[in-house]
Amino acid sequence: MGEVAKRAARLRELIDEANYRYHVLDDPTIADVRYDALMRELEEIEQAHPELRSPDSPTLRVGAKAQGEFAPVHHAKPMLSLGNAFSEQEVREFVARISTSLGEPAPSFSTEPKLDGLAISLRYEDGVFVRGATRGDGATGEDVTANLRTIRAIPLRLRGDAPKLIEVRGEVFMPRAAFEAFNARARAKGDKPLANPRNGAAGSLRQLDSRITASRPLSFYAYALGAISGWTPAPRHSGVLQQFRDFGLPVCPDVGIAVGAEGLLAYFERIGARRDKLPYDIDGVVYKLDRLDQQEAMGFVSRAPRWALAHKFPAQEQTTRVEAIDVQVGRTGAITPVARLAPVNVAGVVVTNATLHNADQIARLDVRVGDSVIVRRAGDVIPEVVSVVLDERPRDDDGTPLNPPFSMPTSCPVCGSDVVREEGEVAARCTGELFCPAQRKQSLIHFASRRAMDIEGLGDRLIDDLVELGYLSTVADLYRLTLDDFLEMRRRADQRDGTVPETAKGGKVASKWAQNLLDSIAGSRATTLERVLFALGIRDVGESTAKTLARHFGSLDALMSADEAQLLDVPDVGPVVARRIATFFHEAHNREVIAKLRAAGVAWAEGPPQRSTEGPLVGKTVVLTGALSGMSRDLAGDRLEALGAKVSGSVSKKTSFVVAGEAAGSKLEKAIELGVEVWDEARLLDFLDKHAQ
Ligand code: IVH
């Protein structure tokens, strides 16, 4: 053999070994880059010396251009199906049947996950993979050799002493993580995602261009024998699985052995409990009589062996019809579209609603009223619409769909306020934070909280009752409540809950709590602008932003009439928050509530904007980033502003200097990139010291 031929053979060995370690032993020893380098080197040799290409070369795994259709393949031994069981009873009957027939009280079984992919048969002649076929009707399948070659888990040559002929049956599947990653990439590129891992596997194998198959993250587990010659299988199925591993064929790591019906059912429970965490999709488990001689003794009925059984989980997916598409408004204003479905039993639960998540998801699915859809309910997860059965879409005689695509509402179905979807956000939201009944409880809880209006005694439970019994619509209503309202509300709540009315205990009406509450509501009227701003519950306007806004604008009216550009002038307010503030005050419903708050006597001191117009930092824009050890960033900001600086949240060419504390990140990088002056904490402290007022 020439040097080049030797090197090519060595490269194939190294690559095969890497695949074996990765897929069979689950113990990879070389890095991806090294693997890729080996493949590239081999590819180059084969290009220069085509005569060195061999039918088992891993370079064949990259796929090739379309050929015609798939040729039919007759299976030397038919590919059987499995009898199904859905209940413990059926499993017990299966074991009893075998016990009786064999006169064996406790037969042992190989227990295996029932992989949810595509069954295939691999034919190896003298150890070399020569042909692979789908199951088809069991007697004849389709030749998908070129596609199967691209799957790295499938060895192109068996390890060790190879049989003259061996057909290996198993499942091609798409590991769940690979499926998720594939779909994330597809969505990012605007491509259509795969409906589920099973469709992913099936669709990938049916590609006429195997380069497409090569780009799909498929894997393979072997689980059965087909035709063999020149080789003796182990006497037990579990032994055959070990022989598969020795040949370099991957076998599912979660297979086991169990004895008797109880052993099988225990395995079913164990796998069922792990189902959601398994790295591959399954739809049940498979029990196979372990001893091959016993298998033979049991034989077959029609096209299924009597020695094996598929014990299936209840189906997680069902087909049903969309009767309507509604949208729900969440407590934070997020708008979620929901499909109203003709009732259907999915895995033991009647499902009538399924989430459609958001506008993107609806566009992806193109789901319309009247469509047949596949709904899925997995574990405790909310049922969701997986896909639309397009063939069943209702159409008129011309084939035009009867129903238009669904579009998200532009105003809130609960309160009529504008619905907006911010750039980069998946959820659309109702902007009537203060007004929308769906958001009422949330906004009241926040409004009353200690750091907002600080209304002592107005807790979540009480707010629930006040809202549910109709005493409160918006935060402004709080200031209209009377002692009688509270007492009446409590009476009705007690009645509703069937609890002993505390208000009437001992014949005396307990009203102190209500009086205290009224006092704290009344007391909250005199407040500060920053508290009111925080209490309004504008998204992303926390205490510190509220404080900055109060100082910057001086009055609520000035803030309410500020446009986005003016808001961007505020230190620490970026484009997203500026947009949110503007949207909030733009919504007439919110402005109404604010007017009512004022009318109810909620008052605060207002003054001119407080920006120092003198001091050593007038006209300077400063950005604080990273953690300071000597003082909080807020305090540092206050002191810089007191010296006339404008403190900003983002670095630009206009930034005068950046104060970088501990673990400063991207803002510091940006400053360096733009050549902006950078101060450390010591320099800041020194400066503040020198200019202490
Ligand atoms: S054994 C004679 N083992 O189940 C037995 N099948 O209905 C032949 N399947 O289409 C099959 N996991 O795709 C076997 N561990 C497993 C399996 C399994 C999934 C599928 C296979 C076939 C179907 C049989």
Whole-model pTM?
A: 0.62
What distance in angstroms lies between residue 242's CA and the mean position of ligand 1's atoms? 18
Q: What's the pLDDT score for residue 153?
A: 95
172 and 178 in contact (C-beta within 8 Å)?
no
Give CB contacts under 8 A, 24+ apart, made by 321-327. 321/370, 321/371, 321/372, 321/373, 322/367, 322/368, 322/369, 322/370, 322/371, 322/372, 322/373, 322/385, 323/369, 324/369, 325/356, 325/362, 325/367, 325/368, 325/369, 325/406, 326/413, 327/408, 327/409, 327/413
50 in helix, strand or coil? helix
Amino acid at residue number 613: T
If you average pLDDT over residues 157-166, what whole number do you get? Answer: 94
* 135, pLDDT greater than 80: yes
517 in helix, strand or coil? helix
Question: Distance between CA 242 and CA 327 in Å, rounded?
Answer: 54
Is 114 a catalytic site residue?
A: yes
Q: Is 646 left (phi over 0), alpha (psi -120 to 50) or beta?
A: beta
Q: What is the pLDDT of residues 510-530, one digit of tens each?
A: 788 899 999 999 999 999 999
Catalytic site residue from 65, 77, 114, 654: 114
Coarse DSSP helix, strand, coil percentages of the chain, rounded to the nearest 5 percent: 40, 20, 40
Ligand 1 atom 23: the closest Cα is on which residue? Answer: 81
Give the number of other Cβ atoms within 10 Å of residue 590's Cβ: 24
Task: Give the helix/strand (H/E) hosting 597.
Answer: helix 588-599
Q: Which atom of ligand 1 is nearest to the CA of 117?
A: 13
Q: pLDDT band for 332, please (50, 70, 90 cuts).
A: confident
Enter the tokens of residue 353. 């609603």
Range picked from 64-78, 227-241, 297-311, 556-570 for highest mean pLDDT: 227-241
If you average pLDDT over residues 296-322, what whole number do you get? Answer: 92
Protein residues with CB under 6 Å of any ligand 1 atom: 80-82, 112, 114-115, 119, 135, 171, 223-224, 286, 305, 308, 310
Q: pLDDT band for 356, please (50, 70, 90 cuts).
A: very high
> Mutation test of ligand 1: which of 171, 198, 238, 290 has the most ligand atoms closer than 8 Å to its C-beta?
171
φ and ψ at residue 551, rounded to 5 degrees: -70, -40
Instruction: Tell me what the pLDDT averaged over the chain comes to.
Output: 90
Q: What's the pLDDT score for residue 591?
A: 95
Q: What is the pLDDT of residues 367-382, one digit of tens each?
A: 999 999 999 987 667 8
What distance in angstroms lies between residue 79's CA and the mean position of ligand 1's atoms? 9
Enter the tokens of residue 663. 């673990």
What distance in angstroms lies between residue 116's CA and the mean position of ligand 1's atoms? 9
111 and 264 in contact (C-beta within 8 Å)?
yes
User: Picking from 494-498, 558-562, 581-585, which range would have the lowest pLDDT averaged per residue?
Assistant: 494-498
Q: What are the angstrom distances between the C-alpha of 398 and each of 285, 367, 589?
A: 46, 20, 46
Enter the tokens of residue 172. 């091609």
Q: What's the pLDDT score for residue 403?
A: 93
Closest of 540, 95, 551, 490 to residue 290, by C-alpha: 95
Domains and CATH numbers, the chain: 2-62 (1.10.287.610), 84-312 (3.30.470.30), 317-392 (2.40.50.140), 429-610 (1.10.150.20), 621-690 (3.40.50.10190)
Enter the tokens of residue 446. 């926040």
Give the number of other Cβ atoms within 10 Å of residue 33's Cβ: 8
- Per DSSP, helices labelled H in 457-562 are 460-468, 483-497, 512-523, 529-535, 543-553, 556-560
